[in-house]
Amino acid sequence: MANINRPTSPHLQIYRLPLTAKMSISHRASGVLLSAGLVLTVLFLSALAGGQSSWASAQGFLSSGFGQLILFVFTLVLNYHLCNGIRHLFWDVGCGYSLEAADLANKVVLGAAAGLTLLVWIMALAA
Amino acid sequence: MSLRTPLSKVKGLGPAKEGASHWWNQRLTAIALIPLALWFSFSIALLAVADYATVSAWIASPFSTVLMILAICVGFYHGYLGLQVIIEDYISNEALKIGLLIGVGLLALLFATLGVVSVLKISFGA
């Protein structure tokens, strides 16, 4: 151990991840959540296919505070994965690899996801 | 000197024997899901609390039937491709990895079929 202060590899436990890295791992995490959300969606569709009474109990759950919270989080996670996924498609064609572009895209993605979610719920509540 | 055989260079399928098809299918489904996800998130925000007659009439319209079936099929396929990569990246125990890959694949197929059949039942039966 000649030089203790040498740069070391970024161990995840002590390394403060930059926003770009946090958003990268969040893309995976949101994908896992969305898979669970898709399963939930199918269960609610099968409740609808089951007829009036089974939909009534599904609707009761979805109208409750907890149900509304799940719906809101689901749309937020979906819009995040959507916006960040579009940024990944830009990366796939070779655009936006500079630090400045990545920093800007972080903000655009987060803003677009939040804005889209608000827009969806304002339109839904107004309709 | 390369250890790769001329045949493997011509085939271009790489060590996983499937070339870029996993990567390509994930991107293809991602593009298809852009409009589907926008439509889907607005629909569930609008309809999750509506009554039986409203929601079933909405699903039964040809436009919604087609988009919902596409969203389910493309969504589960895209989700399966993503979960597959996550399992391959983070699970190092080979038996557990193979088991999870099989389980996730079969569950995706099961729930996708349940979703499609439910939508068709609502569309044709209501």
Task: Report if residue A46 sits inside a domain.
Answer: yes
Domain span at A70: 35-126
Task: Report if residue A47 sits inside a domain.
Answer: yes
Distance CA B115, CA A5 (A): 57
Specify the residue for token string 């996993």: B22
Q: Do A49 and B117 touch (CB under 8 A)?
A: yes
Q: What's chain B's average pLDDT? A: 92
Span A6-26, pLDDT tens digits: 776 767 777 788 999 999 999
> Structural domain boundaries of chain B?
20-125
Q: Do B45 and A79 touch (CB under 8 A)?
A: no
Q: Is residue B114 within 8 angstroms of chain A, CB to CB?
A: yes
At A55, list the tokens: 């939909």
Q: Is residue B77 within 8 angstroms of chain A, CB to CB?
A: no
Mention the CATH class of domain B20-125: mainly alpha
Nearest to A41 by CA among B92, B103, B17, B55: B55
CB-closest option in A35, A55, A85 to B52:
A55
Nearest to A78 by CA among B110, B75, B66: B75
The answer to whether the beta carbons of residues B33 and B75 sit under 8 Å apart is yes
Task: Report if residue A29 sits inside a domain.
Answer: no
Give B16 or A103, the one with higher predicted confidence: A103
The answer to whether the beta carbons of residues B60 and B123 sit under 8 Å apart is yes
Span A38-92, pLDDT tens digits: 999 999 999 999 999 999 999 999 999 999 999 999 999 999 999 999 999 999 9
The answer to whether the beta carbons of residues A27 and A87 sit under 8 Å apart is no
Q: Do A38 and B111 touch (CB under 8 A)?
A: yes
Residues of chain B neighbouring A68 (CB-CB closer than 8 A): 49
How far apart, in Å, are the Cα atoms of B77 and each of A43, B21, B73, B83? Answer: 17, 13, 6, 10
Task: Report if residue A9 sits inside a domain.
Answer: no
Q: Nearest C-alpha of chain A: how many angstroms from B114?
A: 7
Is the pLDDT at B80 greater than 60? The verdict is yes
At A70, list the tokens: 């799940």
Report the first-to-last Cα separation within chain B, whole angstroms: 68
Residue B115: count other Cβ atoms within 10 Å of its Cβ. Answer: 26
Q: Is residue B20 within 8 angstroms of chain A, CB to CB?
A: no
What is the count of structural domains for chain A?
Answer: 1
Q: Do B82 and A67 touch (CB under 8 A)?
A: no
The answer to whether the beta carbons of residues B73 and B65 sit under 8 Å apart is no
**Number of A–B residue contacts, CB under 8 Å:** 111
At B123, list the tokens: 């569309």
Q: Nearest C-alpha of chain A: how many angstroms from B122?
A: 5
pLDDT bin (cut points 50, 70, 90) of residue B126 is low
Helices marked H in chain B: 6-11, 21-47, 52-60, 62-90, 94-125
The CATH number of residue A89's host domain is 1.20.1300
At A98, list the tokens: 């500079």
Task: Report if residue A56 sits inside a domain.
Answer: yes
Nearest to A118 by CA among A67, A90, A79, A61: A79
pLDDT bin (cut points 50, 70, 90) of residue A1 is low
Span B44-69, pLDDT tens digits: 988 888 899 999 999 999 999 999 99
Predicted local distance difference test score (pLDDT) of residue B11? 82
Q: What's chain A's average pLDDT? A: 92
Distance CA B113, CA B126 (A): 19
